[in-house]
Structure 1
Amino acid sequence: MSDATESGGEKARVRDRLWAQIAGAILLVLAVFAAAFYGFALIDTHPARWWPWSAKTHPELFELSRTAVPVAALVGGAAAIVVGIRRQRSTEKTVELTARTAQITADAYALDQKRAGREEIDRLRDRYTTIAAQLGDDAAPVRLAGVYAMAALADDWITLGNHREAQVCIDVLCAYIRTPRSTTTSEDAVADTRVRETITRVITQHLQAGAVTPWSGKAFDFTEARFTGSHSFYGARFNEGCRVSFRGAEFTEGCQVDFRDAQFNKGCWVTFLDAQFNKGCQVYFRGAQFNKGCWVTFLGAQFNEGCHVDFPDAEFNEGCHVDFTDAEFNKGCHVDFTDAEFNKGCRVDFSGAWFNQGWPTGPWGDGSPPLSGWPPSPH
């Protein structure tokens, strides 16, 4: 039997004892009244008469009643005091038992919640094991299902407030993109590209302003990934705490990577360090906003012949830092800043950049931008 059940039984016993005491007090008062009435009736009646009332008139009986009532009242008052004291003690004990019961109930609830939480964590970790196996399956449809399942698992971890486990799920998705997969047929290669495209699409859905479960403050590691196919980060919000690495990534012929209308906000860190933009790739930053406090670097990136990297209508706003230091703009590259807005207080740095007959197009004309950065410092 549980402590709560035992406590409830004790309260019932205390209540029953109290009612028994009240009933006993009433019976005592009635008995005292009867005894007093009988005794007073015998005082002036022959002792041998065991039924003295037969010798009494109605007025005499009334007077006997008036005499017996104070005695019974006195005894009843004393009994009431005793019962009151017992009742007070009973009430205090009941309050104590109620408090104890409430504490026991609260402890039991907390224990149930803790047990349920552990069971939920164990369940989610079991899901992780199953989903990770899906992502390694030979069949592309199974891997696609694993992508959506892993994203849902990350959402569930965030709902529970466990962001560390959610980050693990995101890391696994990014690791899939980073890891080359051996394919034996062109069909397998296409299927694998579709899985990779799905991963970036799912990530981007969680980076939107209205995302139900946002990932905008998480880390996304695409280091040395080889991008093929079409990958959209359209409208993504990279917010404070967000860390995105395309360090050493390769954007290959035929791939399209879309950052149109993306926002790089205060506290985010996005790196294309040593990334290679190769012939036939198309990377769009059209309308992207680089806002105060963001740090986006193309340090050492290579823009090679035949690549298209476009920044038209992009906004480089006050307090942003976009770094092209030591980047290489090689012959035949197409890097377009036409109609981009370089607003007061922004820092777009081309210091140390190599212009190997590859000239970005922008507000400075068709020649290379100022090496010390843009816009130029006011004199």
Structure 2
Amino acid sequence: MVSVDKLYDTLKASGVRLFTGVPDSLLKNLCAYITDNSDATHNIIAANEGAAVGIAAGHYLATGKVPVVYMQNSGIGNAVNPLMSLVDEKVYSMPVLLIIGWRGEPGVHDEPQHVKQGEVTIPLLEAMQIPYIVLPNEDTEALAAVQAIVNDCKKLSKPHAIIIRKNTFGKYKLKNQAINDYPLSREEALTILVKALDIDSVIVSTTGKLSRELFELREALSQCHSKDFLTVGSMGHSSSIALGIALEKPDKRIFCFDGDGAFIMHMGAISNIGALAPKNLVHVVFNNGAHESVGGQPTLGFGIDICAIAKACGYKETLTVTTEQEIKALSGRINTMDGPVLIELRVRIDSRDNLGRPTTTPIQNKEAFMTNLKN
């Protein structure tokens, strides 16, 4: 395995000063080491991968130094526009080093949302004419390859990529982990909230552990899953999915269960929700201030005023709750409030080690959900 401290030192010795991007589970040990060893202005956890490329471009313009942008391969989609129309050699020709976690690598078992992305990761880079290497998993060879690709990146003044396979990096535990002392875990808050909803309520839940917890809660309560759309991928798009449903099904109560990282990733979506003002839409943001699913790196969830942002975008009502009593106090009106409503539910960073995954496929989830909407 590759030692993350040696990789970091090699990048720094090559002149890299800035790291920016969105954390990924395959990169979590590297991202943790970067977080512990770089200040906040030189390790910027960006809203999304496209924004990270923009930050990297600005850094290069100001310093002439090669920046690193880290991401899961699913984030390539967010980054395509600035990679092609900003830093590409036929536009401004800027050296940016991409470090990409290869989820869904062909021949390696992974979750359904990663399979297609894994298949097309290398073809996508080739289509964009971005030179790449797959990082070897032994220190000496890996560090030499990194040094060589940084040199090529500088020389050619264009983006290059390092692809990271599963289990490439040695273990490193984040020391400067985001913590908070809110009384409820996300799963505890989810359980209280779901029990307060009308039986016919429709839920669109965000990617990550929240959807997994919702699936297991339905199992524990012996309830069907047909009222829940589990957005297993597409981070940041659950609120838009919920909006599309709410506009076409005004007779149904639609809940979007979102996360702070996902909310921030495509925050512009809430301007559409506010402008179109569906009365039947309730947007719940479970905010723990961290990218918990991919290593616990901090988000800006507690550094921004989510309720004020939603209110400024036209949400009819916004509120923040943190306790069981506050959630239960909402149960009398959460099913009748005129939307769009945003509820920020602040929770502590905590999840079960034995948390399972949905036992239905995305296609089965879609079909059962659509049947429920028709009825």
TM-score bucket of the superposed structures, by smaller chain: under 0.3
Length-normalised TM-score, structure 1: 0.23
TM-score under structure 2 normalisation? 0.23
